[in-house]
């Protein structure tokens, strides 16, 4: 049925009071969208096939060019960049390749940022022109910006590599290298995030904050795969992120679609992740992860009590505030903690077995008390 015929039919139905005017408008808009589904598929096919043949054609063209021409072009390019390479060798020494690659990444980020912003503006224009059948796949700006963030992250890490000793001896106790460029990356990504209202840039900034305090770096033995060297510091950073998130959310709680609210939730779940991973590591290896000494029993007791308290606290907070984020985090890491703490030792010592029994009694008694309190408040 043609759209004009549908509109006439809908107007008759409205006059006959079979449907309301609002329903007529919704049906019309829905049919407008459905009308152009095949056109959208054609656009996707053209974009994908066009990109494929561009790559294939480029490779085939380069393959058939005379090798002497390619060598001459390469020598010409090397001649142009020779002064830049010599300057990089003078500044960075043996690591001049990392130095130049870092600047190359910054340059590529600039291109991706410019392209992403232009594509976002163009996408907005296309939406106005195409009307309701505009499709999210036309918005390539976010993809370009994200690629730029990835390249910029590589650049900051390349600059961080310039700070490390040239010949590190891993058989001896390593020195802690402060990643100053990670702190610079935090400022960079947070500035971009708030200027562009971009949640992806915010995640990159928080990730570099974690790296700057050692969350994703590992030079010691026990936590090499987990990557936590200073869990007590990571715990403080996680608490800070969580409170920043709570401040963002409380500032604009009534507008859940606002970027400030979304930023707040991002700060909260990343902060909780930092907190619980740090507490998990401390419950196993103590407050400062060190492969050269065993943690004391007092350290482990305090860390495990903190871990249990934080998990149960998040569950109770999530239950009372009806917040699934806190409840799910607390429940997940409570299960992890009880499993690693008790079930790894429950069959080996009598004290661990009794501890597991007492924990079960405590949890059941707490649940019973809360149930009774809830029924009393509900007058049931």
pLDDT in tens, 110-161: 999 998 888 877 765 554 444 444 445 456 778 888 899 999 999 998 888 8
What DSSP character marks residue 65? Answer: S
pLDDT in tens, 108-124: 999 999 988 888 777 65
Query: Are both 207 and 241 inside the same structural domain?
Result: no
Q: Would 77 be classed as within a structural domain?
A: no
Query: Are both 159 and 269 inside the same structural domain?
Result: no
Give the mean model confidence (pLDDT) for residues 183-196: 92
What DSSP character marks residue 342? Answer: I
User: pTM of the entire structure?
Assistant: 0.68
Query: Are both 101 and 137 inside the same structural domain?
Result: yes
pLDDT score, position 355? 65
Structural domain count of the chain: 3
Sign of CA dihedral 59, 60, 64, 69: negative
Per-residue b or e along 139-157, where b marks 16 or more CB atoms closer than 10 Å to that residue's CB: bbbeebbbbbbebbbbbbb
Q: Where residue 248 falls among pLDDT bands split at 50, 70, 90?
A: confident
Query: Are both 150 and 191 inside the same structural domain?
Result: yes
279 CB neighbour count, 10 Å cutoff = 26
Query: Are both 208 and 106 inside the same structural domain?
Result: yes
Q: Would 325 be classed as within a structural domain?
A: yes
Residue 286 — left, alpha, or beta (φ > 0 → left; ψ -120 to 50 → alpha)? left
Q: Are 208 and 270 in contact (CB under 8 A)?
A: no
Q: Would 11 be classed as within a structural domain?
A: no
Mean pLDDT lowest for which of 171-175, 284-288, 341-345?
Answer: 171-175
Q: Would 98 be classed as within a structural domain?
A: yes
Query: Are both 298 and 350 inside the same structural domain?
Result: no
Give the mean model confidence (pLDDT) for residues 320-333: 86
**Winning range, highest mean pLDDT, from 2-6, 207-211, 282-286, 344-348:** 207-211
Q: Are 212 and 184 in contact (CB under 8 A)?
A: no
Range of the domain at 257: 231-337
HSE toward the beta carbon, residue 88, CA cutoff 13 A: 18
Query: Are both 121 and 201 inside the same structural domain?
Result: yes
- 172 CB-contact burial (10 Å; exposed 0-12 / middle 13-18 / buried 19+): exposed
Q: Would 223 be classed as within a structural domain?
A: no
């Amino acid at each position: 049925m043609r759209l004009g015929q549908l509109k006439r039919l809908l107007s008759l139905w409205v006059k006959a009071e079979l449907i309301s005017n609002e329903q007529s408008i919704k049906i019309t808009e829905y049919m407008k969208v459905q009308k152009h589904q095949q056109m959208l598929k054609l656009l996707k096919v053209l974009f994908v096939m066009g990109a494929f043949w561009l790559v294939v054609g480029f490779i085939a063209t380069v393959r058939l060019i005379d090798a002497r021409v390619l060598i001459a072009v390469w020598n010409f390019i090397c001649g142009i960049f020779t002064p830049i390479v010599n300057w990089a060798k003078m500044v960075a020494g043996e690591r001049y390749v990392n130095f130049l690659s870092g600047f190359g990444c910054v340059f590529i980020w600039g291109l991706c940022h410019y392209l992403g912003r232009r594509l976002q503006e163009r996408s907005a224009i296309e939406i106005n022109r195409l009307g309701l059948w505009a499709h999210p796949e036309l918005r390539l700006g976010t993809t370009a910006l994200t690629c730029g963030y990835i390249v910029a992250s590589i650049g900051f890490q390349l600059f961080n590599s310039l700070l490390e000793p040239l010949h590190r001896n891993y058989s001896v106790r390593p020195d802690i290298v402060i990643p100053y460029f990670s702190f610079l990356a935090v400022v960079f990504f947070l500035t971009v995030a708030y200027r562009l209202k971009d949640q992806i840039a915010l995640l990159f900034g928080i990730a570099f904050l974690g790296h700057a305090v050692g969350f994703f770096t590992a030079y010691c033995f026990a936590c090499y795969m987990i990557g936590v060297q200073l869990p007590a510091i990571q715990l403080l950073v996680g608490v800070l992120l969580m409170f920043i998130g709570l401040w963002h959310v409380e500032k604009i709680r009534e507008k859940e679609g606002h970027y400030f609210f979304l930023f707040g939730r991002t700060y909260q779940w990343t902060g909780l992740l930092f907190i619980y991973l740090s507490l998990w590591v401390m419950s196993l290896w103590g407050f400062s992860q060190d492969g050269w000494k065993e943690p004391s029993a007092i350290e482990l007791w305090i860390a495990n009590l903190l871990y249990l308290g934080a998990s149960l606290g998040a569950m109770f907070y999530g239950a009372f505030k009806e917040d699934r984020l806190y409840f799910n985090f607390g429940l997940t890491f409570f299960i992890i903690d009880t499993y690693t703490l008790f079930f790894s030792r429950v069959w080996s010592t009598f004290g661990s077995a009794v501890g597991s029994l007492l924990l079960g009694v405590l949890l059941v008694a707490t649940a019973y008390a809360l149930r009774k309190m809830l029924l009393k408040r509900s007058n049931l």
